[in-house]
């Protein structure tokens, strides 16, 4: 089973960015993707209810994550916990650069991570070359919450992939996802941390499943390793094999 861990859905006003569930399903069918983790776009008018409705309509294809922007709500931890319980979400999405906090801001992140720890769910977090979310900035929260799987989206992009790999070697709860990155990042990750903590993520609608699949096929010659990266690892994190 192929499971992609990074996809946006929604129709946020004020931006041209959009992807409906039907549009995503067509892309998945074309590329042979069985299931996709979905959440809203980075804008502060993200819509967790929209994500829920998509998952409810297609529970065999979509896995919903709750998005949370801390500065929108004084009680943001209660808000995300309520959405997780109400909509049965399987994870949390955060975006430091878009939502005006830093991954070093443990005081801001701690309430969100406490929810993830309680619910035994992962957090996927944007990483890049901006000071808000460089891979090394993940060290503090990863150290405080070793029980919480942290999916480092983009693995620092191209410039900071070596730093992402370094952090993943230090913390076993860090998982690397290489959307928008180059094939060399996957090769380096495979060499340094092995296939068990690498995940397939595409970041649709901005990138195409076929490109990500081809990158993995080229860089991961072992079929067993490839199957782990393209679905088995995220299924284990989400405990899908127990459902």
Distance CA 216, CA 206 (A): 18
Alpha helices for 73-182 (secondary structure H): 76-87, 106-119, 139-144, 161-170
SS3 123: strand
Distance CA 224, CA 122 (A): 24
Tell me what pLDDT residue 169 has.
98
- Domain ranges for the chain, please list them: 3-242
What is the mean pLDDT of the segment spanning 9-17? 95
List beta partners, residue 8.
39
Tell me what pLDDT residue 123 has.
98
| Helix, strand, coil share (%) of the chain residues, nearest 5 | 50, 15, 35
Neighbouring residues of 100: CB distance < 8 A, sequence distance ≥ 6? 71
Per the CB < 8 A criterion, the answer to whether 204 and 175 are in contact is no
pLDDT tens sequence across 177-201 = 999 888 999 999 999 999 999 999 9
Other Cβ atoms closer than 10 A to 6: 29
DSSP class of residue 74? T
Tell me what pLDDT residue 243 has.
45
Which residue's entry shows tokens 């500065």?
71
Using the predicted structure, report yes or no on whether residue 144 has a pLDDT greater than 60.
yes
pLDDT tens sequence across 84-105 = 999 999 999 999 999 999 999 9
List beta partners, residue 19.
10
pLDDT tens sequence across 32-68 = 999 999 999 999 999 999 999 999 999 999 999 999 9
In CATH terms, the fold of domain 3-242 is: TIM Barrel (3.20.20)
What is the mean pLDDT of the segment spanning 142-149? 98
Per DSSP bridges, beta strands 150-153 and 35-39 are unpaired
| pTM summary value | 0.97
Tell me what pLDDT residue 181 has.
87
What is the mean pLDDT of the segment spanning 13-21? 96
Tell me what pLDDT residue 159 has.
87
Distance CA 133, CA 194 (A): 24
Task: Dig out the tokens for 175 from the structure.
Answer: 């998982």
Burial-class residue 194 by CB neighbours within 10 Å (0-12, 13-18, 19+).
exposed
Query: Rg for the chain (alpha carbons), in Å?
Result: 16
Q: Which of 122-136, 198-212, 229-243 shows the lowest mean pLDDT across its residues?
A: 229-243
Instruction: State the pLDDT confidence band at 78, using cuts at 50, 70 and 90.
Output: very high
Task: Dig out the tokens for 22 from the structure.
Answer: 């039907």
What value does the mean pLDDT of the chain take?
96
Using the predicted structure, report yes or no on whether residue 242 has a pLDDT greater than 70.
no
Determine which helix (DSSP H) or strand (DSSP E) holds 3, and give its type and residue range.
strand 3-8
């Amino acid at each position: 089973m192929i499971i992609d861990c990074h996809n946006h859905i929604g129709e946020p006003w004020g931006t041209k960015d959009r992807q409906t569930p039907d549009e995503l399903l067509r892309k998945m069918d074309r590329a042979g993707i069985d299931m996709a983790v979905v959440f809203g776009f980075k804008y502060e008018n993200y819509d967790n209810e929209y994500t829920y409705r998509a998952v409810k309509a297609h529970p065999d294809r979509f896995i919903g994550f709750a998005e949370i922007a801390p500065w929108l709500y004084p009680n943001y931890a209660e808000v995300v916990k309520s959405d997780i319980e109400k909509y049965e979400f399987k994870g949390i999405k955060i975006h430091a650069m878009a939502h005006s906090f830093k991954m070093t801001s443990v005081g801001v992140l701690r309430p969100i991570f406490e929810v993830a720890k309680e619910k035994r769910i992962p957090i996927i977090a944007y990483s890049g070359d901006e000071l808000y979310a460089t891979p090394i900035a993940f060290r503090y929260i990863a150290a405080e919450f070793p029980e919480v799987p942290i999916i480092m989206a983009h693995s620092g992009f191209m410039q900071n992939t070596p730093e992402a790999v370094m952090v993943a070697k230090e913390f076993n709860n860090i998982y690397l996802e290489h959307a928008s990155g180059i094939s060399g990042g996957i090769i380096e990750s495979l060499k340094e941390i092995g296939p068990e903590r690498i995940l397939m993520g595409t970041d649709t609608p901005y990138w195409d499943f076929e490109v990500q699949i081809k990158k993995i096929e080229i860089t991961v010659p072992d079929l067993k390793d490839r199957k782990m990266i393209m679905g088995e690892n995220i299924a284990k994190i989400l405990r899908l094999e127990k459902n």
